[in-house]
Amino acid sequence: MSFDEKLKKMQKIKDQAKLGGGQDRIDKQHDQGKLTARERIDLLLDPNSFQEIDSLSRASGEKDDQSIVGDAVVTGWGEINGRKVCIFSQDFTVYGGSLGEVVGKKIVKIMDIALKTGVPIIGLNDSGGARIQEGVTALAGYGDIFLRNVRVSGVIPQISVILGPCAGGAVYSPSITDFIFMTEQTSQMFITGPDVIQAVTGEKTTPEELGGALSHNSKSGVAHFASKNEEETFEEVRRLISFIPLNNLDSSPKRQSSDNANRSNDNLKKIVPDDESVPYDVREVIEEIIDDGDFLEVHEHFAQNIVVGFGSFNNKSVGIVANQPMHLGGVLDINSSRKASRFVRFCDSFNIPIVTLVDVPGYLPGLDQEYGGIITHGAKLVYAFAEATVPKISIILRKGFGGAYDAMGSKHLAADINYAWPSAAIAVMGAGQAINIVSRKELEKAKNKEKKREELINDYRDRLEHPYIAAAKGYIDDIIEPQQTRSKIIKALDLLENKSESLPPKKHGNIPL
């Protein structure tokens, strides 16, 4: 066989691999509103940047006509905005994207390459789970992937994009990764499907209700982003990559903004009402102070009483954690504590400074919260902030009461720079609650209880609820005018750029899971 003939043979096999499960199955994929594995890669990565590996893989011992070249996953590396990433894309046209020996080995190899080269790993998931025909071999493949998910956690960012029905073992790997993206109506995640649930528990449900994008974004909190279609999903992935470093030794990418570092935030006094009982949208505060108002919110639909996400100050990427008075008054509860603590730990893992905006009335009371473990879940946020060694800057906008004040990036949890607005109220609890406890007998004796109550509340506020006591003790580094907020944060970030702090030597801490 001549060299030209060998080239033609190679090209024929590679062309065969590009067809996956064949044109009929590709057409069916398109009919369902889904792209193919390779189309997804081309849409996500920079044009012509994808370098595929293992396109010729197939099951050992099988004849050419009994296996599909490349099997049910496409792997390789490429670029997003000129920055390297490794990627695998499951091919639903081949055995429903199921994971067998070949698929497992291909994914493991590209994960190992990502770790060795220090670049993010992105998984485009569209899989029915383990390949039943391969038995324990398929389970071994999942185990090998899970091990790497854990080993690379905190070393390189791991991003999972759910683009079809993912069941059983196919959902555990994404759940270990840092961020999960889902598309509405076409992606689902569940351990057991609707039929099994009905057979075991008698509950009737649909795949979308059970494990759809909106369910996991708003109810379970398993997923972090939901988009209307695959194109929007990939745009959000590209946007996320623009905010985060390539690995734990890398610095955050420089953002491109001409926003004035000394810009005054005159709108803040209009956004935040003086009356602590009047709600406002803390996103407006965030968008007012960051560069160009460009805020990438994470977990937008879950635990909406706290807001987390990425922005930048003077072109430097930061993570932002903020209480949201628009929902439950901004209290901390089980879900908001889980949400914020996971985000704080991601930022700390990858050297992303954390800016905390505080307006918290306390922890949410109630039987459901206590029985659900608010003590343990609330402690996660305390642990996350105390453990974090990245630059930490906190601003108390309006109130910080009780243990929630401590948990929200206080000086007592080793925050570096803590500011408060003159409107800030810092105390064990709000004046109304406090008077009910400490002045109960005095109120009982009063002839005009309402007038006496008002006097006691005003006295409490004058003596104990203002920010000047905390400032006098050094718990607050300065009380600033609201319009100075952006410039003060930027100057603090400049100071802390080369911050060096380490934890006591240990294998790892025992976070209250």
Residues with a known catalytic role: 168-169, 403-404
Q: How many CA atoms lie within 13 A of 320 on its CB side?
A: 30
What SS3 class is residue 77?
strand
Q: CA-to-CA distance for 510 and 513, rounded, in angstroms?
A: 8
Residues 6+ apart with CB under 8 A from 163: 34, 35, 40, 124, 125, 126, 183, 186, 187, 230, 233
Strand extents, DSSP E, 373-495? 392-401, 417-420, 425-427, 478-479
State the CB neighbour count (10 A cutoff) for residue 56.
13
Q: Residue 506 and residue 278: Cα distance in Å, rounded? A: 46
Contact of 38 with 18, CB cutoff 8 Å: yes
For the four alpha carbons of 191, 105, 346 and 160, in that order, the dihedral sign comes to negative
* 28-29-30-31 Cα dihedral, nearest 10 degrees: 50
Single-letter residue type at 146: F
Give every CB contact of residue 340 below 8 A, 6+ residues apart in sequence: 306, 308, 321, 381, 384
Q: What is the largest CA-CA distance in the chain?
A: 109
Residue 321, φ and ψ in degrees, nearest 5: -125, 125
